[in-house]
Amino acid sequence: MTSCRGPHATMAQRLSSANRQSGQALAEGLAVLGVMLLVCMAIAWLGRFQDMALSAQHASRHAAFQQTRTGIALTSADISKHYFSGPAHQWNTLRGQPFLGAGGEGVGVSIRRQALGPYAQPGGQGGPASALRGDWGIQDPGVLHVGVSLAAASFENGAAANSARLYLDSGYPSLHRHTAILTGAGHASGDAQVQQVLARSELAWGASASTSYTAGKKVAAIMNRVDSAWSRTAPDFDWLAPWAGRIPEHHLAPTGREAE
């Protein structure tokens, strides 16, 4: 009898061991699947924040350049309309709620200027340098700082929030991006504006030009009667406008075709 029970008992032990191993493999598979789901959710969560951070950076740059060129400060409503609304900017939480709220109330804009001292200005500190900066419009008013911040909208903390919710959906950090630009650097729209700025400068142009104009007009009053017999053109005392768009010869470089 003992010899007959031996094989059956061994078979039963093997089946029992196989069942235990199958149950352990199933438990391990479920654990790995849960970890993979968490990793996928974390990747989507981080990607959403990276996209929002990139939009905030673009928004801060646009607002800074807009303020620099036009002097018009963009509001949070303007920023939200152009950069945080529309089908391409629908960021939702894991519960499906808009991250910035239905009206984009989580968008904030801050604008401030950082004043520059005299030694940080072109020419440094000094009477003539200060006068020239004022005449030429290159007295830098300071560094313009424009910041765009994103804060998660307030959500209802009901029974659903106390159920089996992930921590990723309960604590969203705020985002902040900013751009700094040195404004008022004396840029001009063209040659004509450069000449106008130069003509308004008493120190760089006005005083010397006025003395030369006076002397030249006295000479012209005498020489015009002499030159009229030779049909010569009268002197032109506009010493700036005719040079619009002209470049001194020593600043010109021949192109490849001209060099051939």
pLDDT number for residue 13: 59
Q: Give the pLDDT confidence of 175-195 residue by residue, as tens digits.
A: 889 899 877 666 777 777 778
Question: How far apart (Å, rounded) are the C-alpha atoms in residues 206 and 204?
Answer: 7
Q: Give the pLDDT confidence of 12-37 residue by residue, as tens digits.
A: 555 555 555 556 677 777 787 888 88
pLDDT number for residue 147: 92
User: What contacts 239, CB < 8 A, 6 or more positions away?
Assistant: 209
Q: Is 170 helix (H, G, I), strand (E, B) or coil?
A: coil
Q: Is 68 helix (H, G, I), strand (E, B) or coil?
A: helix
Backbone angles phi, psi at 97, to 5 degrees: -90, 145
Listing DSSP states for 32-56 in one string gives HHHHHHHHHHHHHHHHHHHHHHHHH
Q: Which two tokens stand for residue 120?
A: 């940080």
Long-range contacts of the stretch 75-82 (C-beta < 8 A, 24+): 75/109, 76/104, 76/107, 76/108, 76/109, 77/104, 79/107, 79/109, 79/148, 80/104, 80/107
pLDDT number for residue 257: 58
Q: Give the pLDDT confidence of 233-246 residue by residue, as tens digits.
A: 778 888 887 776 77
pLDDT number for residue 124: 66
Query: Once rounded to an integer, what is the mean pLDDT over residues 199-207?
Result: 82
Question: How far apart (Å, rounded) are the C-alpha atoms in residues 87 and 82?
Answer: 12
Q: Give the pLDDT confidence of 75-106 residue by residue, as tens digits.
A: 888 888 888 877 777 777 767 677 776 666 77
State which amino acid sits at residue 236. Answer: D
> Which pTM does this prediction carry?
0.55
Backbone angles phi, psi at 183, to 5 degrees: -100, 165
More confident residue, 251 or 7: 251
Question: In 3-state terms, the chain is what percent helix, strand and coil (to 5)?
Answer: 55, 10, 30
